[in-house]
Amino acid sequence: MKIRTRFAPSPTGYLHVGGARTALFSWLLARKAGGQFVLRIEDTDRERSTQAAVDAILQGMDWLGLDYDEGPFYQTDRYDRYNEVIQELLEDGHAYYCNCSKELLAQMREQQMQAGVKPRYDRRCRDLNIKPDQSGDCVVRFKTPLGGSVIFNDLIRGHIEIKNTELDDLIIARSDGSPTYNLTVAVDDNDMAISHVVRGEDHISNTPKQIHLLNAIGAQIPQYAHVPMILGEDGKRLSKRHGAVSVLQYREEGYLAEALINYLVRLGWSAGDKEIFSRNEMIDLFEIENVNKAGSIFNPEKLLWLNQLYIKEGDEQFLANELQTHFTAMGVDTSEGPALAKVIAAYREREKTLKDIAQSSVYLFQEIGVYDEKAVKKCFGEKALQPLQAISSAFTELEDEMWTSENIKQTILQTAETLNVGMGKIGQPLRVALTGGSSSPSIEITIFLVGRKRTLQRIADAIAMIQTQNSP
C-alpha cells in the first residue's frame, strides 16, 4: 500500500506549534515510507477563514521545510463534489432531510439535560421522508447506524471502540446547502487516497463519524493516529496565556527552523536518549507507534537552549543569510560594515537567537545614537581621557593593512604597558566608545569589526564627550 498522509489545517488562525508538530509527524511518516504528503486547506468556515491565515500557513510550512507533494487543495474549490456525494447519500438511503427548527432543537436539548441524558438529536425526522421543498429550512442528516460499535486501531493509542448509541445523526449539509466539516473531510480523504490520518487527539470524537461516512460511500478506511496535546508548564493545553505563538513569530524572534523542528519532534517522541537529530536521522528513526499517549510539556527554555546550540554549530554563511533578514526587518543597512559571517563568528557563543545578535551588533552598521547611561558614568570619567588619547594615537599609526585583531590586541597591551595601567583601564572606556554600552565580544574583535575609520572617529567622539562633561 502506498502511504499517503495529509496535513489539513483550518485557516481560522495562524500555524501554531501544535499544528506544526502534527504536520511534522505526518510528513515524517510519509517520507520514511517513500510515500506522499498532501497539504489541504480546510477553509469551509468562510466567516472565520482569512487569506492572511492561509498565507501564514503556507509560509510556515515553507520555513519549516515541510514540503508537500500535492496541494495546497482548498475545500471551497470542491463544493460541487461535496454536493454530489450528499445527493448520493440521500438517494442511497444513508441520509435524510430534517426541518426541525432551532427552537425545537434547543427545547429538545434542554429537556435531555434536565433528564440527565446526553444531548443529541432524537431522530424524529429520520423516517418521515421529508422533501426539501416542504415548509421550513431543511438540513441534511446522516443516518448513523442504530446498533453496534465503531472499532478502530489507533496507531498511537491502540484499540478504540465507540458505541453507535453515543453518536448523533450528524448534519452533513446546512440549510443553505453548504457541507459540514465531517462530510468534507471524509470525502477529501477518500478522493485523495489518504492512507494514514495523523491529527490531534481532539479529533478522536470525529473519527467514528467519518468512518461511518466513508463506509457509506464505499471508501477505504485510512489508518488513524491521534497525537496527544501539547501542554503548558501548568499541565493545561498550550494556549496564548502560556505565551504560545505562531510558527512565523518564532522566525521573527530569531529562532532557526531546524531548532524548532528538532524541538517539536522530541515533544512526545523519542529514539533512545538522542536529543539532536538531522532531517535524515528523523526520517530514518521515526515510528508513529513510538509517539507517547500522554501530553507533552512545552518548555520554552529548552527550545531556547536548542536554538543557541544550532547557532553555535551552524554554517556561518547560512546563519549570515538568516541574520540579514533581521537587519532588514530593523531597517539597518549592512552594506557598510563587516561581513555578516564575521558577525556570526563573533556573537554565536554569546547570544541565543539571531534577533539578539542583530540587536547586539547594530553598532557595527549604524552610528551610536544613545550611550548607556550607567556605562558612561562608570567608564567615561576624567581618568579615561589619557588612555583614550593614547590608544587613539597608537591606532592612528596602525595602517589599514595592519588592522587585524591580533595587531589591535598587541597595540592595546603596549599602550597599557606604556601608561602603566591595567588592560581594563583602556579596554572598558574603549568598549563604551565603540559600542555605546559595556557588553560586546572581546575588545580586539569588537574594534576589528568596527573598522579603523569608525574606531578612530568614535574614540574622538568619546574624548570630546569626556572633555565636555568634565569642563569647569
Q: Which residues are registered as beta bridge partners of 70?
A: 38
| C-alpha of 125 from chain center | 46
Asked if 221 and 213 count as a contact pair (C-beta separation under 8 A), the reply is no
Query: Known catalytic residue: 383?
Result: no
Residue with cell 507533552: 296
Asked if 62 and 30 count as a contact pair (C-beta separation under 8 A), the reply is no
Q: 258, 276, 256, 257: which is closest to 266 by C-alpha? A: 276
**Could you give the residue ranges of the DSSP H alpha helices within 314-372?**
316-330, 340-347, 354-360
Q: Identify the three-state secondary structure at position 111.
A: helix
Contacts of 293 (CB under 8 A, 6+ apart): 156, 157, 228
Contacts of 445 (CB under 8 A, 6+ apart): 346, 405
**221: exposed, middle or buried (C-beta count within 10 Å: 0-12, 13-18, 19+)?**
middle
Q: Where are the beta strands (DSSP E) in 57-100?
A: 70-74, 95-98
Rounded-to-integer distance, Cα 146 and Cα 140, Å? 18
Calculate helix-pair angle for 300-313, 257-265, nearest 10 degrees: 130
Rounded-to-integer distance, Cα 308 and Cα 311, Å? 5
Asked if 319 and 344 count as a contact pair (C-beta separation under 8 A), the reply is yes
Asked if 172 and 141 count as a contact pair (C-beta separation under 8 A), the reply is yes
Catalytic residue, from 143, 240, 352, 378: name it. 240
- Active site positions, annotated: 240
